Amino acid sequence: MIRGLSVSALLKFVISALAVAVVVVLALGAWDSGSRVAATNRIAAVADVSSPLFTALHNLRIDRASSFRDLNADKQLTALNPQLRDARAAEVPALQAALAALRSVDLPDRDAVIAGLDQAVKKLVALHEESAPAMLRPKAERRPGIAQDMFNTANGLLETLDKLSSRLTRSVKLEDAFIDELLELKQLAWIVRNAGGDASVMISNTLGGQPLPADAFVKYTSHVSKLETAWAALEELAAGLPLPARFTEAVEKTKREFFAPDFVALRANNLKALIAGEKINYTPEQWALVTVPKLAIVLGVAEAALDVAKEHAAQQNAAALRKLALELSLLVAAVAFAGGMMLMVSRRVTGPLGMLQEAMLKLAGGDLTAEVSFAGRKDEIGALASAMSVFKGNMVEADRLRTEQKEVETRAAALRRGEMQRLADEFQKAVGNIVAQVSTSSSELEVAAGTLTKNAETTQRLSGVVASASEEASAQAA
């Protein structure tokens, strides 16, 4: 089968096969880089959503606890609780930012998620507008059930945001190992913040007039155990990662302030005192001033992990884009090179070979007008053309010699014909002379023969006369 391939077909096949192999390799690389770009874009989008989500979650928990407590309180407030005011001022913009960022996240039911979250945010804002002035009125003038509505709405939104955060984290899982670790750090920090908030809110609610559960200290111990376990896991995970200084600083600040022995002891002692029915020297607002900043410090660890994830995703995205641009450029160059090689082979090899073949066939047919090109080239085609030029020259020389020989033969034949004609003429002339001489001799011979005949007759007669005379003499003698 290979023997049946022409040189042109074989060359084009080899070039095409190599070009296809290179193009496939580069295309696979470009596809991988494109996939990496898409993955880093998804990671960046998730990080962009997660950051405002965590801000909203943190402040929404404060809003839920403070609003429920203040709306159920018997006393009439003269001003909105500063912690509640700050929490509400931060959570709504954070929720709006999360909604805007969600539009760039690739989720199957993204539009439905955005629509549901938007409705929940609008309901929360409406309750804010209703509850803020209600807190400044006596409890009897507040709408019945407003506190529970506020709690249920905030709690439902917290659950929605928490599920959405977990879903976003799962959507990019295994896309990047380092990002997975960072998001795990974020989640562990959030668990610590939640458990710490649950432990502190037991004191706040009791200070606000709500009864303690029967197993209050057991629940408190459970919350503390949960946050301590999550924090230990966070430290162990962070120890094996190349994290920037600001994350380490956030961790150290949390250990220094949130896990400070005096704060841990203060929180436990206050709860024990409340369980024992003793009064402590804190109002709900004062206790919030102590605990909310501590919880914000823990949240700073989660935010630092998200910031590192954003930066890493941005770096990976930039690197993937550079690699994609390079591979696409190489792909275009490879296609152009393959096309150029095919064109060059066609012009420099297969085309000239075809022309030489055509010229050779003409020469083989005796057409000495066939032009032999490419003799000036310094490659195999040039060598072949030179050999063919020599072959043509030899054919021309042989033809010239044949022509000359034919001319010589023609001249020789003409000379032979002339000589033969001359000889024939001379022969004819000579024969004519001979014939003439023979004719003359014949006449003379005839004359001589006549004379001889006459002489013979005369002689015969003389012989007869002599014989008669002899006989007469003999007779006479006798």
Tens of pLDDT along 276-323? 888 888 888 889 889 989 999 999 999 999 899 989 888 888 888 888
Structure confidence at residue 213 (pLDDT): 84
> Does pTM top 0.75 for this prediction?
no
What is the C-alpha to C-alpha distance for residues 179 and 169, in angstroms, rounded to an integer?
10
* pLDDT class of 252 with cuts at 50, 70, 90: very high
Report the sign of the C-alpha dihedral through residues 410, 413, 419, 425, in that order: negative
Tens of pLDDT, residue by residue over 291-300, are 989 999 999 9
Q: Look at residue 444 in the predicted model and tell me its pLDDT.
A: 64
What band does 375 get if pLDDT is binned at 50, 70 and 90? low
The pLDDT value given to residue 8: 65
Residue 432 has pLDDT above 80, yes or no: no
How far is Cα 122 from Cα 459, in angstroms, rounded to an integer?
186
Tell me what the mean pLDDT of segment 235-253 comes to: 93
- Token readout for 368 is 């000495």
pLDDT for position 447: 64
CA distance 26 to 350: 28
Counting beta carbons within 10 angstroms of the beta carbon of residue 47, is it exposed (0 to 12), middle (13 to 18) or buried (19 or more)?
buried
Residue 246 is predicted with a pLDDT of 92
pLDDT digits (tens, 9 = 90+) for 437-464: 766 666 666 665 666 566 666 656 656 6
What confidence score (pLDDT) does residue 367 get? 74
Which pLDDT belongs to residue 474?
57
Does the structure show a pLDDT above 60 at 181?
A: yes
What pLDDT, on a 0 to 100 scale, did the predictor assign at position 448? 58
The answer to whether the CB of 23 falls within 8 A of the CB of 335 is yes
| DSSP 8-state code for residue 379 | S
Amino acid 358: pLDDT: 77
Q: What is the pLDDT of residue 243?
A: 92
Q: How far is CA 144 from the centre of its chain?
A: 64
| pLDDT at 464 (0 to 100) | 61
The pLDDT value recorded for residue 172 is 86
Torsions phi, psi for 6 (to 5 deg): -80, 165
pLDDT band for 192, please (50, 70, 90 cuts).
very high
Q: Could you tell me the pLDDT band of residue 251, with boundaries at 50, 70 and 90? A: very high
Quote the CA–CA distance of 53 and 187 in Å, as a whole number.
Answer: 12
Taking alpha carbons only, the member of 123, 125, 121, 87 closest to residue 102 is: 121
Q: According to the model, what pLDDT value does residue 235 have?
A: 94
In three-state secondary structure terms, 214 is coil
User: Under a CB-based contact definition with an 8 Å cutoff, are residues 289 and 74 in contact?
Assistant: no
d(CA 399, CA 396): 5
Q: How far apart are CA 17 and CA 204, in angstroms?
A: 76
Q: What is the mean pLDDT of the chain?
A: 83
Q: pLDDT per residue over 136-150, tens digit each?
A: 898 888 889 999 999
The two structure tokens encoding residue 77? 């407030």
E strands of 180-317, at which residues?
Answer: none
98/431: higher pLDDT: 98
Q: Which of 41-55, 334-348, 398-412, 461-475 has the lowest mean pLDDT?
A: 461-475
Q: Say how far apart CA 101 and CA 104 lie, in whole Å.
A: 6
pLDDT given for residue 369 in this prediction: 73
pLDDT of residue 5: 56
Question: What are the tens digits of pLDDT across the range 254-278?
Answer: 999 999 999 999 999 999 999 888 8
pLDDT digits (tens, 9 = 90+) for 92-123: 999 999 999 998 888 888 899 999 999 999 99
The reported pLDDT for the residue numbered 392 is 74
Query: Which of the given ranges, 51-55, 191-195, 439-443, 473-477, has the highest pLDDT on average?
Result: 191-195
Q: What pLDDT does residue 154 have? A: 93
Extract the tokens encoding 27.
């295309």
pLDDT for residue 182 is more than 60: yes
Per-residue pLDDT tens for 389-414? 777 777 777 778 888 888 888 888 88
pLDDT value, residue 261: 94
- 247: how many CB neighbours lie within 10 A of its CB? 20
Q: What percent of the chain has pLDDT over 70?
A: 87
Task: Collect contacts of 95-98 with beta carbons under 8 A, ≥24 apart.
Answer: 95/52, 95/56, 95/121, 95/124, 96/121, 97/52, 98/49, 98/52, 98/53, 98/56, 98/161
